Chains A and B, each alone.
Chain A
């Protein structure tokens, strides 16, 4: 059973299970149900009751907000890599799934039933603490995530669409979710930029049209009157006067 050493290794590398003693890990390993998922296959749907915890073994699984018209599509909120656990929240608070989950590529996962999970927590307080620190980490992650998003939003709101920079950054981002978000954001920014530029082009061609004949006629009408001539003359005298005053 070469698989079981691999599984043992995987559990040892999982924050949630690491604190458990060896004999318990063996029990956990036996309680896990393996499943394979095709790319884009939905693992669970938002609103369903959550009855198991998922450990990613290979590939990657995303939790996401499902689109109304296509429940398998939607912006990924977070992507889970091998060794990471998702879905434990619904097991703790017994509430329906707050988001949907799908495989981002062909993946294998291991599911742990709610009953086993809860009895493990009861019997091994170290594991309860590991669950808590996992939740803690999630809160920190959310804060960082929002911080990053707000920087980009501010940039776009300020009219600077450095999509190259965002894309470059997304290549460096270790976190798959942020990288994914950055890519989508860069795409959005470049769409907005394109639209704005098109708008600019349209209006930039403002032509100033003046009816030249009418202009000349009105000017002539004003300037040929007697009063215009007298104003002109008065102004000339006043300017002379002022020049003389300025010299004094």
Chain B
């Protein structure tokens, strides 16, 4: 059975794109066929992790939403860019990184229904096992529809006061949308924090299951999104934690 998984956070900069790229990679390493859609149209980022530059991007998600191509034509096979010899597949549907095209989407908006049709097409035509959606932060209508059609919603939060109130609303809204499974990932945890205590505190406050606790990681920061962490550091504790998340999602 294929699964749609949205990766969301109330605020930007929480680590959505890095987490999405790593989860996709770990799943593909297990032989799965994975698609990623960058729906953070206003501030696209995940293409960077796969080393895609302006010239490498042919059709983008924007072109699909404007009726210029099918969504399959906007899918870029980035598997070999991640690492040669990965048994599965990774397809990225990037958002346009051209300033004019970003401005046009912000100005005109887009048809969220069309986007969701695109998701179904991708699952079917690329025979995907997993479709990961890297979302735009916050709660707007387009995002809500992506969340609503997901089988799993992964909410990322930092242990930061700025994140608490907004995340609590996001989680409640998602549950009211009828999302079948909601998981929380806590990222960028300062090293001094007691993890058990923090986990309990978060589960108590948000009423949701915390599936991973990822500390602030200097190696990850120094990578500066230039590479996939799980490939560069296959034996790192952070990679192990992300593997657990994939196992949970596939269960």
Binding site for B on A (CB under 8 A): 196, 199-200, 203-211, 214-215, 218-219, 222-223, 227-228, 231-232, 234-236, 238-239, 241-242, 245-246
Q: Is the CB of A208 within 8 A of B177?
A: no
- B226 interface contact, C-beta 8 A: no
* Complex: chain A residue closest to B165, CB-CB: A210
Q: Is the CB of B178 within 8 A of A236?
A: yes
Q: Is the CB of A219 within 8 A of B176?
A: yes
Q: Is the CB of B197 within 8 A of A204?
A: yes
Report A152 CB to chain B, min CB distance, Å. 22
Give the segment of B86-94, B99-107, B166-174, B239-247 that binds chain A: B166-174
Task: Pick the residue among A203, A218, A246 that contacts B190 (CB under 8 A).
Answer: A203
Q: Is the CB of A206 within 8 A of B148?
A: no
- B144 interface contact, C-beta 8 A: yes
Task: Pick the residue among B123, B144, B164, B165 that contacts A242 (CB under 8 A).
Answer: B123
Report A21 CB to chain B, min CB distance, Å. 65
Give the segment of B11-19, B55-63, B198-206 that binds chain A: B198-206
Complex A-B, nearest 3 residue pairs according to Cβ-Cβ distance, in ascending order? A235-B148, A204-B194, A219-B172
Q: Bin the interface of chain B by size.
A: 20 to 34
* Complex: chain A residue closest to B175, CB-CB: A219
Report B59 CB to chain A, min CB distance, Å. 24
* Complex: chain B residue closest to A241, CB-CB: B120
Report A37 CB to chain B, min CB distance, Å. 48
- B234 interface contact, C-beta 8 A: no
Q: Is the CB of A231 within 8 A of B177?
A: yes
| Cβ–Cβ < 8 Å partners of B169 in chain A | 215, 218-219, 222
| Cβ–Cβ < 8 Å partners of A222 in chain B | 139, 169, 173
Q: Is the CB of A227 within 8 A of B141?
A: yes
Roughly how many angstroms separate A200 CA and B190 CA in the complex, as a whole number? 10
Report B203 CB to chain A, min CB distance, Å. 10
Q: Is the CB of B193 within 8 A of A204?
A: yes
| CB-CB under 8 A for A199 and B192, given A210-B168, A222-B173 | yes
Roughly how many angstroms separate A232 CA and B202 CA in the complex, as a whole number? 27
* Complex: chain B residue closest to A207, CB-CB: B201
* Complex: chain B residue closest to A242, CB-CB: B120
1/0 contact trace for B176-214 toward A, CB 8 Å? Answer: 111000000000001011100110011001000000000
| Cβ–Cβ < 8 Å partners of A206 in chain B | 159, 193, 197-198, 201
Query: Which one of B124, B139, B192, B198 has the highest number of Cβ atoms from chain A below 10 Å of its Cβ?
Result: B192
Roughly how many angstroms separate A234 CA and B177 CA in the complex, as a whole number? 10
Report B178 CB to chain A, min CB distance, Å. 6
| Cβ–Cβ < 8 Å partners of B124 in chain A | 245
Roughly how many angstroms separate A12 CA and B113 CA in the complex, as a whole number? 98
| CB-CB under 8 A for A232 and B168, given A206-B193, A242-B123, A246-B1 | no
- B2 interface contact, C-beta 8 A: yes
Roughly how many angstroms separate A236 CA and B173 CA in the complex, as a whole number? 15
| Cβ–Cβ < 8 Å partners of A200 in chain B | 192, 194
Q: Is the CB of A245 within 8 A of B141?
A: no
Q: Is the CB of B148 within 8 A of A232?
A: yes
Q: Is the CB of B120 within 8 A of A204?
A: no
Report B103 CB to chain A, min CB distance, Å. 24
Task: Pick the residue among A196, A199, A214, A238 that contacts B149 (CB under 8 A).
Answer: A238
| Cβ–Cβ < 8 Å partners of A196 in chain B | 192
Report A158 CB to chain B, min CB distance, Å. 13
Report B1 CB to chain A, min CB distance, Å. 5
- B116 interface contact, C-beta 8 A: yes
| Cβ–Cβ < 8 Å partners of B224 in chain A | none
| Cβ–Cβ < 8 Å partners of A215 in chain B | 165, 168-169, 172
Report A157 CB to chain B, min CB distance, Å. 13
- B145 interface contact, C-beta 8 A: yes
- 7 A-B pairs (CB sep. < 8 Å): A203-B193, A210-B164, A210-B168, A219-B172, A219-B176, A235-B148, A241-B120
Report B171 CB to chain A, min CB distance, Å. 9
Roughly how many angstroms separate A241 CA and B116 CA in the complex, as a whole number? 12
| Cβ–Cβ < 8 Å partners of A234 in chain B | 113, 116, 145, 148-149
Q: Is the CB of B178 within 8 A of A232?
A: yes
Report A129 CB to chain B, min CB distance, Å. 52
* Complex: chain B residue closest to A223, CB-CB: B176
| CB-CB under 8 A for A231 and B141, given A208-B164, A219-B173, A239-B149 | yes
Q: Is the CB of B173 within 8 A of A231?
A: no
* Complex: chain B residue closest to A238, CB-CB: B149
Q: Is the CB of A208 within 8 A of B173?
A: no
* Complex: chain A residue closest to B180, CB-CB: A239
